[in-house]
Amino acid sequence: MSNMYKDTEVWPVFKGCRFNCTYCIPSFQRQSKRWGANNCDKCYNYEPHIHEERLNKIPSSEIVFVAGSSDLFFCSTKDLKRIIEKIKAHNPIKEKTFYFQSKVPSTFERIKEDLPKNSVILTTVETNKHLFSDGTSYGDYSKAQTPAERLKDFIRLDYERKVITVEPIMEFNRSFAFQLSKVPNLEYIWVGYNTRPDEVSLPEPSKKELSRFLKQCKERDIEVRYKDIRGLDKYDGS
């Protein structure tokens, strides 16, 4: 099972990323390094690469997260299409839902016409700010394009099924829920704090601010699925 999404199994057919997000270092990168130490130098170094031997090993779970601990932006179009062809060949055996995620929504422009109907595209939008109250900027935590730019691109992207991951949630402006509500075909969002606060320090909203954000999402008919919200009561519409 994946620790990222409930009832989901990761298909590690592609591994690696160069965005070097600080919150991924103690999780995805460390996990890849442990496995790669005795098996794969590229996994050990978190270098983007496809695993040929895994192309025919699609997980048996109903929801499959394609390369869930990596970013598909770094996967070549040729290899992305090979992965999709394997999915299409597998689909008649058992209908599944496939998650494809990238912090660069334009990645999906390369493949959206090839994706089977049971595919969902996802992006991560941790915040709608670039500069934080502690004097840091988003660039201090990730080499990816800013979440604000990412959200604009995701809004413009024409696709039938979309999901956003707001995790690890970072300090945000009050317009955040409103901006998320502008995403067409948004099925739901995942929301959660940084799960390794002892290892990675991030500028975060208070529980009061998060609670207000969850209420605003509810008011805008955005379905929220919860990850680690540190004991905060889930907003129930009251």
Q: Which two tokens stand for residue 156?
A: 């413009």
Domain count, the chain: 2
Q: Which of 16-20, 92-96, 176-180, 192-196 has the lowest mean pLDDT?
A: 92-96
In contact, 159 and 181? CB cutoff 8 Å? no
What is the pLDDT, as a whole number, of residue 30?
Answer: 85
Percent of the chain with pLDDT strictly greater than 90: 81
Same structural domain, 214 and 201: yes
Residues of 155-166 as b/e, b for ≥16 C-beta within 10 angstroms? eebebebbbbbb
Q: Which of 120, 155, 180 lies at the terminal end of a domain, its last residue?
A: 120
Q: What are phi and psi of 164, to 5 degrees?
A: -120, 135
Same structural domain, 12 and 91: yes
The whole-model pTM stands at 0.92
Mean pLDDT of 213-232: 94
Same structural domain, 48 and 148: no
What is the pLDDT, as a whole number, of residue 4?
Answer: 54
| pLDDT value at 217 more than 80 | yes
Same structural domain, 113 and 129: no
Same structural domain, 95 and 47: yes
Print the domain residue range for 1.
Answer: 1-120
Mean pLDDT of 21-39: 87
Q: Which of 80, 98, 120 lies at the terminal end of a domain, its last residue?
A: 120
Please report which confidence band the pLDDT of residue 34 belongs to, taking 50, 70 and 90 as the band edges: confident
Same structural domain, 116 and 132: no
| pLDDT value at 110 more than 60 | yes
How many C-beta atoms lie closer than 10 Å to residue 152's C-beta? 15
Same structural domain, 5 and 77: yes
Same structural domain, 131 and 196: yes
Same structural domain, 195 and 99: no
> Looking at per-residue confidence, does 125 or 69 come out higher?
125
Q: Which two tokens stand for residue 93?
A: 């055996």
